């Protein structure tokens, strides 16, 4: 059995250690990726600290992956060895980022455009997937908007407003860009005001101080809305305070998308949808395969979707 190095969590709540694990063989529909870069996602430290999601140990974590195709499984024809690719993990040890080689499904893997580095690409998968599912998956798994998968669908929601809480977060940045691509306007977001110029460059039309009270948010949003009602709030932070704020901003018939478990109850005429961006839960399969197989590389090449800044780089194991 071939061996590789990995960053392991040997048991629940344990510290990371470098150790050996199996070098995997791709099965039907899979590719083996030589990992070149892995983003650090909040889920990675939460799994280790709180002992959630992962059940089998020793575990390998890391859910944002960029690297090179090393080997193709049976039936894979869209890639070749040496292709630069990126993808999200599936929470399985053999499909996670913190190791030299990992497996991925070809159907939810995309090529890295030539102008982007591995580090750039590793910032994309989970943030974009979460934003995409939240906006475009069918109710109750998302907001149910039509995805911008064709020229006719781009700009479809011109003139419809959206409020995004936490616009400077990875998910928030992705939601802003997708909202612009879908035509939403105004695109109103809360964030630290030091990010104003950057978030405007992504497509936000109004950046409100994240420290404003709910009444303060309402006042500024009312001015920006020109009499229109808030029908969609995407809470990319989703702590109790932001969930309560988002719910209070919604008009009757509106919906709020959140990225963690709900800690507030929906009110009559207002719905709350919790986003899970996992690749293989049945409601997500078609939605995310459409994104990775057909759209995301093109979005990046066209410049309508930009990657996160990645100022910190940690060399490999």
Cis peptide before 238 (omega within 30 of 0): no
**294: pLDDT strictly greater than 90:** no
Residue 41 pLDDT: 86
Q: List pLDDT tens digits, range 127-165.
A: 999 999 999 999 999 999 999 999 999 999 999 999 999
pLDDT at 315: 56
Q: What is the pTM for the complete model shown?
A: 0.94
User: pLDDT at position 316, please?
Assistant: 53
Mean per-residue pLDDT for 8-28? 95
Name the nearest CA neighbour of 187 among 149, 215, 218, 159. Answer: 159
Q: 127-274 is classed in which CATH architecture?
A: 3-Layer(aba) Sandwich (3.40)
Structure tokens at 268: 């009559």
Q: Beta strands 162-165 and 232-235: pairing type? A: parallel
% the chain with pLDDT above 70: 97
* Alpha-carbon separation of residue 236 from 9, 21, 170, 303 (angstroms): 28, 35, 8, 23
CATH superfamily assigned to domain 3-123: Medium-chain alcohol dehydrogenases, catalytic domain (3.90.180.10)
Structure confidence at residue 51 as a pLDDT band (50, 70, 90) = confident
Q: What is the mean pLDDT of the chain?
A: 94
**CB 108 within 8 Å of CB 76:** no
Question: Model confidence at 79, in pLDDT bands (50, 70, 90)?
Answer: very high
Rounded mean pLDDT, 58-73: 97
Specify the pLDDT at position 313. Answer: 56
Asked if the model's pLDDT at residue 251 lies above 90, the reply is yes
Q: What is the pLDDT of residues 88-128, one digit of tens each?
A: 998 889 999 999 999 999 999 999 999 999 999 999 999 99
Q: Residue for token digits 């650090």? A: 40
Closest-CA residue to 167 (of 215, 123, 204):
204
Residue 55 pLDDT: 87
Q: Is the pLDDT reported for residue 52 higher than 90? A: no
pLDDT at position 265 over 90: no
Q: Are strands 109-111 and 84-88 parallel, antiparallel or unpaired?
A: antiparallel
In sequence order, what are the residues at sequence separation of 6 or more whose Cβ sits closer than 8 angstroms to the Cβ of residue 51?
12, 13
Question: What is the token pair recorded at 159?
Answer: 């003139």
Domain boundaries, the chain: 3-123, 127-274
Stretch 174-198: mean pLDDT? 97
The pLDDT value recorded for residue 311 is: 56
Please give the pLDDT value at position 91. 81
CA-based nearest residue to 72, from 103, 114, 99, 98: 103
Mean pLDDT of 175-202: 97
**Residue 314 pLDDT exceeds 80:** no
CA-CA distance, 6 to 96, in Å (whole number)? 10
- ∠ CA 77-78-83, nearest 5°, is 115
């Amino acid at each position: 059995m071939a061996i590789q190095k990995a960053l392991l969590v040997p048991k629940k709540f344990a510290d990371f250690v470098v150790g050996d694990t199996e070098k995997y063989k791709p099965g039907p529909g899979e590719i083996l990726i030589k990992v070149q870069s892995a983003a650090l996602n909040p889920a990675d430290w939460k799994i280790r600290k709180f002992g959630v999601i992962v059940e089998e140990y020793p575990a390998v974590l890391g859910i944002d992956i960029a690297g090179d195709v090393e080997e193709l499984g049976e039936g894979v024809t869209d890639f070749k060895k040496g292709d630069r690719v990126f993808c999200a993990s599936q929470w399985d040890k053999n499909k996670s980022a913190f190791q030299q080689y990992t497996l991925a499904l070809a159907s939810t893997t995309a090529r890295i455009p030539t102008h982007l580095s591995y580090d750039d690409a590793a910032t994309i998968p989970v943030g974009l997937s979460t934003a995409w599912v939240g906006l475009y998956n069918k109710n109750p798994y998302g907001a149910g908007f039509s995805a911008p998968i064709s020229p006719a669908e781009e700009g479809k929601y011109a003139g419809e407003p959206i409020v995004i809480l936490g616009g400077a977060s990875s998910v928030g940045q992705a939601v802003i860009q997708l909202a612009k691509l879908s035509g939403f306007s105004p695109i109103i977001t809360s964030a630290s005001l030091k990010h104003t110029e950057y978030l405007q460059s992504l497509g936000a039309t109004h950046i409100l101080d994240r420290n404003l009270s709910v009444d303060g948010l309402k006042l500024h949003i009312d001015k920006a809305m020109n009499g229109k009602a808030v029908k969609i709030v995407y809470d990319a932070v989703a702590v109790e305070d932001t969930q309560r704020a988002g719910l209070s901003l919604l008009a009757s018939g509106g919906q709020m998308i959140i990225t963690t478990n709900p800690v507030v109850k929906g009110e009559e005429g207002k719905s709350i949808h919790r986003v899970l961006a996992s690749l293989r839960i049945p409601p997500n399969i078609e939605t995310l395969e459409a994104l990775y197989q057909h759209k995301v590389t093109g979005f990046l090449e066209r410049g309508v979707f930009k990657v996160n800044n990645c100022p910190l780089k940690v060399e490999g194991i």
